[in-house]
Chain A
């Protein structure tokens, strides 16, 4: 086995955001002003609402004046304890975690198997399956809520259960697509050599192919994460028990039902919004190297 892997060129994917990968002909002129102004205005427009969310969640009294966006005192964590009284934040976060974790687990196990088969194995039905994968991207998921509701809630009785929540999202087709694209980029000799050595497909997948596509796995996990973590409609439809609701659902229910009765409703809502948004933003800032144009591009150009 070792002879096989050592003889193979390491698959190096170009990363336009890595300064070491930058081509030599990078020009050193100063960036033009209109470009910089456009980009800065863009960044401001994208980031200001998040800054405002955080500031609003920390203020005792809502202050909507422009100066109020840059307060110097009056910071408090009271809004967080207020939202926690109405919505059990820890319970909701655990529910979001189970929902998201279940989807990621199924996507990793079954998605990698399917992606590997689609990229590397010749079998009857591979073409059809790949066509189905592409076609599925064209069907707006929310339009299927009626039949899915009938199936999962009425026929299988899976309302108010994690299984019912996870099922429609279980395997992310985008992730399968990304796995396929990355497995396709590996050289064929690698696989034929391993097969001649007598390695089975599972062993080739586990010990040879997977270690080489590690970046793809992180990208796919990141992309899969935001689906269920941020999903609102489906868990909203099938969970009536507050104890099972993910945070997106319990916060939305708070916004539409009880917000009017709280002393500082916006403060409490924004505190909940910060708790909901923080995990996704943290993940994507920490792993931003794995969510770049080239990663997404390899998933798209196919």
Chain B
């Protein structure tokens, strides 16, 4: 320091200060944060951003699998892969299937998880046991619980034994009009525990005074559930609808294992299953990528609409 002050150029420290402020505007007050978050940022770039771009690229080119390092010509084909995907009846069927799935799964999920969370909220005997019981399916592997559902819903399975003459024919998993609803029901059951926890968290945030005011105004239990609880936890509902839609778009394991690869005539084939079939089994990654891009856009669109619809006042 003494050498600096004694030097004939007293601009030294000032210039250093100026450089620091330039750095600060460039990198922020604590540039170390960049180093801390760099691995995660690179991870997101490599595993989400780049694949999204690559999916779009593949979907607009005549793309096929090659050995690593091989240089081949992959011409630009415009929307050909999209037309190919959309004119494939199997692909169209899978889109219809996922709509059927969502129409059953999402409302059922919202209503059941809201009811159960509401019943579980507050002081209740056996609360811890019940809470754990509700999320056991959520934390278990799909492959494991699919196994027991296969057993329960097989032709001579326990469900049909209980139903007796009412058992559907053909049986659940090979019945083209029951396979997809059963899968929707299965996924509702499996995921419900997470949504119950989300609603329980949201219920803590509804002010007690609102319930007191409602009961003073003569509102019954159902009335205050509808007029106080439901609006009070609307952000949680947005989240539940969003997460269950995304889970639905991800559907693969259940149709693959529960209905033995898409069910009768592709009655329970999900878009991800069709992507796997067309893309990897049959070697048409370009068409499969086009399906993927359309679905990602579809999910983002649903998310936006859902946010708008549920968050308006």
Contacts and interface: CB of A to CB of B under 8 A. Distances in A.
Contact of A139 (B30, B48, B123, B200): B48
B109 to A, nearest CB: 14
A232 B119 CA distance: 34
Contacts of A301: 201, 205
Contact of A143 (B41, B140, B189, B249): B249
Taking residues whose C-beta sits less than 8 angstroms from the other chain, chain A's interface range is 35 or more
A157 B68 CA distance: 7
Most chain-A Cβ atoms within 10 A of its Cβ — which of B143, B154, B162, B200? B143
B141 A113 contact: no
Interface in A39-72: 39, 42-43, 45-47, 49-50, 52-53, 56, 62, 64-66, 68-69
Contacts, number: 336
B132 A285 contact: yes
A49 B152 contact: yes
Nearest to B260: A256
A46 B189 contact: yes
B79 interface: no
A149 B280 contact: yes
Interface string B29-65: 1111110110111011011111110110010000001
B196 to A, nearest CB: 9
Interface stretch (A3-11, A210-218, A272-280): A272-280
Interface in A140-176: 140-151, 154-157, 167-168, 170-171, 173, 176
Nearest to B271: A143
A251 interface: yes
Contact of A230 (B33, B134, B142, B197): B142
A46, A52, A124, A151: which has the most chain B beta carbons within 10 Å? A46
B295 A17 contact: no
Given A65-B161, A122-B29, A140-B299, A145 B275 contact: yes
A66 B158 contact: yes
A273 B147 contact: yes
Contacts of A296: 194, 197-198, 201
A299 to B, nearest CB: 9
Interface stretch (B84-92, B174-182, B284-292): B284-292
A26 interface: yes
Contact of A114 (B31, B37, B132, B200): B37
B130 A113 contact: no
B272 A233 contact: yes
A251 B151 contact: no
A205 B137 CA distance: 36
Contacts of B99: none
B34 A124 contact: yes
A198 interface: no
A229 B28 CA distance: 39
A151 B256 CA distance: 24
B119 A143 contact: no
B250 interface: yes
Contacts of B140: 50, 230, 277, 280-281
Contacts of B34: 117, 123-125
Nearest to B41: A129
Interface residues of B, number: 110
A129 B40 contact: yes
A299 B192 CA distance: 18
A269 B125 CA distance: 36
A300 B37 contact: no
A301 to B, nearest CB: 7
Nearest to A252: B143
B66 interface: yes
Contacts of A274: 144
B225 to A, nearest CB: 12
A244 interface: no
Nearest to B127: A17
Contacts of A142: 249-252, 272
A149 B58 CA distance: 12
A140 B249 contact: yes
Interface string A271-301: 0111011001100110010011110110011
Contacts of A293: 197, 200-201, 203-204
B136 A256 contact: no
Contact of A281 (B28, B30, B136): B136
Contacts of B26: 124
B263 interface: no
A111 interface: yes
A229 B141 contact: yes
A255 B150 contact: yes
Nearest to B34: A123
A233 B275 CA distance: 12
Contacts of B39: 110, 113-114, 171
B59 to A, nearest CB: 9
A262 interface: no
Nearest to A112: B36
A117 B193 contact: no
A141 B292 CA distance: 10
16 contacts: A64-B161, A118-B37, A123-B28, A123-B29, A138-B242, A142-B272, A143-B271, A145-B275, A145-B279, A149-B285, A150-B58, A151-B50, A230-B140, A248-B144, A277-B144, A281-B139
**Closest A-B pairs by Cβ, 3 of them:** A297-B201, A121-B33, A123-B33
Given A66-B162, A284-B139, 4 more contacts: A31-B123, A35-B119, A49-B145, A65-B161
